[in-house]
Amino acid sequence: MADAPGTHRIVEKVTEMKLEPFNRYGEEVTKLFWNPITFDRKTGKGCFIIRFMPGGVSQPHEHLGFEEFYVVEGPMVDHDGVAYEAGSFVSLGPNVRHYSHAPEGVLLVAWLSGNNRALEEGEEMSFGPDTIKTGHFLPATGKAPKGPIGTHRIVEKVTDLELTPFDRYGEDVPKLHWNPITFDRETGKGCFIIRFQPGGVSTPHEHFGMEEFYVVEGMVMDHDGQKYEAGDFVSLGPGVRHYSYSPDGALMVAWLTDTNRTMAEGEELSFGPDVLQRARYKAQAAAE
């Protein structure tokens, strides 16, 4: 049963999640395990946690939307030899064709905005030649779709990214800095990296879609006192109204499926009473 609007919240430590054999394409893939925590198998959209055991190889596939992930433990290597190290954010765009392997094992938090298609033997790959040659392609039928081959790839170490004052709602928010790396300001969709300096407080807002994030460093606390600590995956659903505070600072990788709206003073928040009201007013006063 789906959560009522404004009540969906998941908080899970990624390294402690229960995983099952990866079977997204109908058959289990050797040495790959996952938790499709908010992933919708029909639409191919949402978040999943995936672990490659040492020597694990993914099914060669084409993205019909964006595939973006944060490497918790690594590295992982794409078919063309490009390595995705621990601490990296990776964005692969529509029509990218690839597969990956992990010689020593890897753990990823992955977000997809559209479905994938398993590749047939002989289909051309993105980026460059297949230097690994361990991909398990489907048998060739000659019916594979012909179309443009995707070239969009971003690989960035999150802690090395340049950040600017957080101005998503039109004005700089004190003690918040971000990099809207694939975030679209007009649609409110995509990924951004955000750092709370000690004492930082976000603007109270309501989600029109999903807001999901991985806490890379530190801790943030929601208005009701719920803590999100380093290593946590957090999912907040449509209709959720909240704001967050970080007493000691935090760094997060966040994905949104739709825009937000800022809230007016006095609007009811989700989950419970506003136990951080004093901290929010103190932060506002310090900024004035």
In angstroms, the CA 141 to CA 154 distance is: 32
Each of the 288 residues of the chain gets a pLDDT tens digit; together they read 456 668 899 999 999 999 999 988 777 889 999 999 999 999 999 999 999 999 999 999 999 999 999 999 999 999 999 999 999 999 999 999 999 999 999 999 999 999 999 999 889 999 999 998 888 887 877 777 777 899 999 999 999 999 999 999 989 999 999 999 999 999 999 999 999 999 999 999 999 999 999 999 999 999 999 999 999 999 999 999 999 999 999 999 999 999 999 999 889 999 999 998 766 666 665 665
Specify the pLDDT at position 1: 43
What span, in angstroms and rounded, lies between the C-alpha atoms of 173 and 167? 6
Going along the chain from its start, the domains and CATH numbers come out as: 9-157 (2.60.120.10), 161-287 (2.60.120.10)
Distance CA 70, CA 156 (A): 10
Q: What residues pair up with 254 in beta bridges, in sequence order?
A: 192, 213
pLDDT for the residue 27: 79
- The verdict on pTM exceeding 0.85 is yes
With H, G, I as helix, E, B as strand and everything else as coil, classify residue 60: coil
What region, left, alpha or beta, does residue 239 occupy, with left being phi > 0 and alpha being psi -120 to 50 degrees?
Answer: left
Cα within 13 Å of Cα(189), Cβ side: 12
